[in-house]
A and B are shown apart, each in its own frame.
Chain A
Amino acid sequence: MDEINLITLFLGAIFVNNFVLSKFLGICPFLGVSKKVETAVGMGVAVTFVMTIASAVTCLVYNYVLIPLELKYLYNIAFILIIASLVQFIEMFIKKSSPTLYQALGVYLPLITTNCAVLGVTVSSMQDLDAMENVAMGMKFTFSLVYGVGAALGFTLAIVLFAGIRERLERNNILPAVKGFPIALITAGLMSISFLGFSGLL
């Protein structure tokens, strides 16, 4: 594990293993909050915020609580617990410390509590780390953090691009049969195919 590896990991999380478009996690906010670029950016920022912190905290809890106690199999419950309370905590904290940011993130913060992409990031970074051997704790932490940021930026990229396309779709003359959601789903599928092209990147 060196710097090159971390860069690969970072780019890989954004493009090749994009959480929305190739792992199909976090589809609900991807479709629900992508009608306007403005709201999509808000959602993306909120997800980035939560994913980064959640990756770091789950990594610590996993390595310092679950592994020593030999309770690895409880990771799902523990991670959900962490993410849910973390989101609540972050919401309170932001509300107090930065009302402007709170206004900007608005309704999106609580929405992320149950966003499967966040759980997905923590679980898959944990599994990746388990597959590797002899990794120092500091490296594990960095790995989780970089992976979390990359995945979150990938989510933001996907949702903002999608919102941009949907905004244009609104103004176009579309066959009534596929107007609205159907065309959005078709678009999402096409985007997913185009993101396949990144698989040769690394």
Chain B
Amino acid sequence: MEEIIKSILSIGGLGVLFGAGLGFAGVKFKVEQDERIPLVRECLPGANCGGCGFAGCDAFADAVVSGKAKTNGCPVGGAAVGAKVAAVMGLEASESERMVAFVKCNGNCEVSSSKYNYYGMDDCSMENALAGGAKGCSYGCLGDGNCVKACNFGAISVVNGVAVVDKEKCTACGQCVVACPKQLIEIIPYKSKVHVSCNSKDNGKNVRANCSVGCIGCTLCQKNCKFDAVHIENFLAKVDYSKCVSCGLCTQKCPTKAISKEGSQNKIMPVDKEKKEVQRV
């Protein structure tokens, strides 16, 4: 009994001693931190996503105050948070354009072919390791939702075998871009309306064989664009968002509707089976 009491007292005593010492040291060695750091930190979303390039929101706040980061450096908070942080720092907010993630694939279950039946784990990287995934097109979305898992904001969902980003919820933190083994996700301006929903660098014939909504590299969009905003590279159309004015002319000309204007009927629409047959013949 005596042994127990002795051990409890001595170890407890040591603990109390060190605790008191630390408490005392905490007061004695208190460092006057720049008072703006906690204020900046309060403005931030606190998701610690690392999208800004720093180790977390605390590190970012520190960097802002010490001048290493811009006030609008938080991609999650966007312009609103940028303005708040700038107010704390006493600067004018430099306007940051809101960005969103965009999945460059529209090849859902109806329109694309598959190489084999995949029965493995619901993980894009795992499926990708098996001959580049079950999808006929080796560039397309596998739909196992690695990006969904990576998203801290619930902005991505898999609809009919293809990941779709909810523009309103997306904060452009870039986690999904990293998570996608196919490098399908791109960060684009929120305001842009015209997107190429395809990432296939195959030539037109091979694209057609695997998917009816893929970009075949016909260059019609490039020819019809009055603003020099669409270019074909490696059989794939690419929109230059700094030039695109979202007139939608290219989307009307596109034979496969791989390039589409937001809000129009082209996006995620199962292609009419009969029409598809006619096209093939």
Q: In whole angstroms, how far apart are the Cα atoms of A66 and B13 in the complex?
A: 12
Closest Cβ of chain B to A32, distance in Å, is 14
Set of chain B residues within 8 Å of A78, measured between Cβ atoms: 11, 14
Contact A69 B22 (CB under 8 A): no
Say yes or no: is A139 at the interface (Cβ < 8 Å to chain B): no
| With known contacts A93-B25, A95-B31, A96-B29, A74–B10 Cβ distance under 8 A | yes
Closest Cβ of chain B to A44, distance in Å, is 21
Set of chain A residues within 8 Å of B25, measured between Cβ atoms: 89, 92-93
Instruction: Mark contacts of B14-45 with chain A using CB atoms, 8 A cut-off: 1 yes-contact digit, 0 otherwise.
Output: 11001101100110011100000000000000
Say yes or no: is A65 at the interface (Cβ < 8 Å to chain B): yes
> What interface size band does chain B fall in?
10 to 19
Q: In whole angstroms, how far apart are the Cα atoms of A82 and B18 in the complex?
A: 8
Set of chain A residues within 8 Å of B280, measured between Cβ atoms: none
**How many residue pairs bridge A and B at CB < 8 Å?**
44
Set of chain A residues within 8 Å of B117, measured between Cβ atoms: none
Set of chain A residues within 8 Å of B29, measured between Cβ atoms: 92-93, 95-97
Closest Cβ of chain A to B45, distance in Å, is 22
Contact B21 A74 (CB under 8 A): no
Interface size on A, residues (CB 8 A): 20
Say yes or no: is B243 at the interface (Cβ < 8 Å to chain A): no
Say yes or no: is A81 at the interface (Cβ < 8 Å to chain B): yes
Say yes or no: is B68 at the interface (Cβ < 8 Å to chain A): no
Set of chain B residues within 8 Å of A178, measured between Cβ atoms: none
Say yes or no: is B7 at the interface (Cβ < 8 Å to chain A): yes
Say yes or no: is B273 at the interface (Cβ < 8 Å to chain A): no
Closest Cβ of chain A to B31, distance in Å, is 5
* With A65-B14, A69-B6, A95-B29 already in contact, 5 other A-B pairs whose C-beta atoms are closer than 8 Å: A71-B10, A74-B11, A85-B18, A97-B29, A99-B31
The list of the 9 closest CB pairs from A to B, nearest first, reads A85-B18, A96-B29, A92-B29, A92-B25, A95-B31, A69-B10, A89-B25, A88-B22, A71-B7
